[in-house]
A and B are shown apart, each in its own frame.
Chain A
Amino acid sequence: MAKLVAILATTHHPFYYRTSRLPTAEAPPFAAEWVRKVAAYRETLTRMRPDVLVMVGSDHFHQLWLDNMPQFLVGKAPFYDANYYNEEREFGLPRLLLKGHEELSAHILRAGLDEGFDLAFSNELRVDHSITCPILTVRPDNDLPVVPIYTNIFAPPLPRPERFVALGRTLRTLIDSWPSSLRVAVIGTGHLSLELGGPRQFGPHGPDPEFDARAVEWIANGDIDGCLAEVTLDSLHAPGNATHGFMDFMLMMGVAGYAKADYADHLDLFHTMEAYFTWYPNGVDA
């Protein structure tokens, strides 16, 4: 069977790529620490020598639109073009071409359907910065095949937090039961408290530092029950109007089970808190 060697759950900050490439004299004061933290986080993936990456993210109204909106969608294609004109325009992100892994995509779709998740699929998916930001931070060589999984954290009605956790748990069993000799890593990106397009956006910190502190504790401690006891679709409006992206972190907690993270770090940036978690579900020597 396949071996799940690493689970990474992190924020995806589209400004990182451009910030990390600025000459020192032009870089903002927080850039050096940000680059150091990302480099340390990258090592948590590199050391586990994965062969294939399952990548959980969310389309930001690029290919997926309100005339036909899936809740959970799995890419099944040999390649994925990546990033869009408005991401080049706003963030300076490069266009990329990611390799796919159709066999693992097919397994996740077939077994996921059989486990009770009516997963949508796409044979021609152009992924956006929710997938490419972690490629640029933790696998900048972009040398591994991926299976993209998109969740709807954007266009209500949304699935409830419990459903994200359940999909994560199911994803774990699907990977563990995949008849393959490959080493798999799951990388999912979301947000802590975040406001976009509202009165609390782009402040000196994230819109709700108290929520962020609790969220970091839930994730680092694998406290799924504590998190689910407090987080609902309604409650997520309070920390910031884009905070439903936290449900992708909850999905990743589902993948990790109740385990404490083996690696946890965060960085308080202007307007948002960055966070970096890794689990080694079969041990660091797997």
Chain B
Amino acid sequence: MSRYLVDKFLYTIDRDPGLVERYREDPGGTVEWWEREQAGRILNCPVDEATTWLAFTDEERAALAAHDHVALFGLGAHPFLTLTLWIAMFERDFPEPLGMQRDYAARLSHLGLPYPDIST
């Protein structure tokens, strides 16, 4: 399990307007590129001084590539990070205010407490 890396993906995509659009339009390609080129980048270190051992599990990679926020919730991805990025990508597709957020919640409505552990 590499919950930290899933969170790192969500975090680094969300903070870059270009990557938000890239992930919206090409989720599979963006996940593949990001894991190959960006996953090991330590955010406060020069590019050459990268982490060598980080990788997604197959389940995590598939959930990200499918824009499957329900699966990400189940894997313990930080819900604030997922929601924030989903608002950036998909709020525009819903005509009414908070429509995306309510649809997002409805798709999770089969889940009860306790929620999956989000600790990293």
The CA of A61 and the CA of B17, in the complex, are separated in Å by 16
Is A242 part of the binding interface, using a Cβ–Cβ cutoff of 8 Å? yes
Contact indicator A201/B115 (Cβ below 8 Å):
no
| A-B CB contacts (within 8 Å), total count | 77
List of B residues within 8 angstroms of A201 by Cβ = 83, 101, 104-105
Is B71 part of the binding interface, using a Cβ–Cβ cutoff of 8 Å? no
Contact indicator A197/B88 (Cβ below 8 Å):
no
Contact indicator B105/A200 (Cβ below 8 Å):
yes
Contact indicator A60/B80 (Cβ below 8 Å):
yes
Total residues of chain A contacting the partner, CB 8 A: 28
List of A residues within 8 angstroms of B83 by Cβ = 196-197, 201
- With A155-B120, A202-B105, A237-B115: A61-B80 Cβ-Cβ less than 8 Å: yes
Chain A interface SS verdict (over half): loop
Is B52 part of the binding interface, using a Cβ–Cβ cutoff of 8 Å? no
Contact indicator A66/B79 (Cβ below 8 Å):
no
Contact indicator A241/B115 (Cβ below 8 Å):
yes
Contact indicator B84/A199 (Cβ below 8 Å):
no
- With A237-B113, A237-B114: A198-B108 Cβ-Cβ less than 8 Å: yes
Q: Which listed residue (B44, B84, B106) contacts A90, Cβ 8 A?
A: B84
- Against B, the Cβ 8 Å flags (1 = close, 0 = not) of A207-251 are 000000000000000000000000000000110011000000000
The CA of A67 and the CA of B49, in the complex, are separated in Å by 14
The CA of A85 and the CA of B108, in the complex, are separated in Å by 28
Stretch from B8-16, B26-34, B60-68 forming part of the interface with A: B8-16
Contact indicator A66/B7 (Cβ below 8 Å):
yes
The CA of A196 and the CA of B86, in the complex, are separated in Å by 12
Is A84 part of the binding interface, using a Cβ–Cβ cutoff of 8 Å? yes
Contact indicator B79/A196 (Cβ below 8 Å):
yes
Chain B interface SS verdict (over half): helix
The CA of A68 and the CA of B44, in the complex, are separated in Å by 10
List of B residues within 8 angstroms of A61 by Cβ = 11, 78, 80-81
List of A residues within 8 angstroms of B108 by Cβ = 198-199
**Chain A min CB distance to B118 (Å):** 7
Is A156 part of the binding interface, using a Cβ–Cβ cutoff of 8 Å? yes
- With A86-B15, A90-B87, A197-B80: A66-B104 Cβ-Cβ less than 8 Å: no
**Chain B min CB distance to A248 (Å):** 15
The CA of A118 and the CA of B47, in the complex, are separated in Å by 31
- With A202-B98, A241-B115: A197-B79 Cβ-Cβ less than 8 Å: yes
Is B73 part of the binding interface, using a Cβ–Cβ cutoff of 8 Å? yes
List of B residues within 8 angstroms of A238 by Cβ = 113
Query: Which residue of B81, B84, B114 has the most chain A CB atoms within 10 A of its CB atom?
Result: B84
Give residues 1-60 of B contacting A (CB, 8 Å).
Answer: 4, 7-8, 11, 14-15, 17, 42-44
Q: Which listed residue (B15, B42, B98, B102) contacts A84, Cβ 8 A?
A: B15
List of A residues within 8 angstroms of B43 by Cβ = 65, 67
Footprint of B on A, CB under 8 Å?
60-62, 65-68, 84-86, 89-90, 154-157, 196-203, 237-238, 241-242
Footprint of A on B, CB under 8 Å?
4, 7-8, 11, 14-15, 17, 42-44, 73, 78-84, 87-88, 98, 101-102, 104-106, 108-115, 118-120
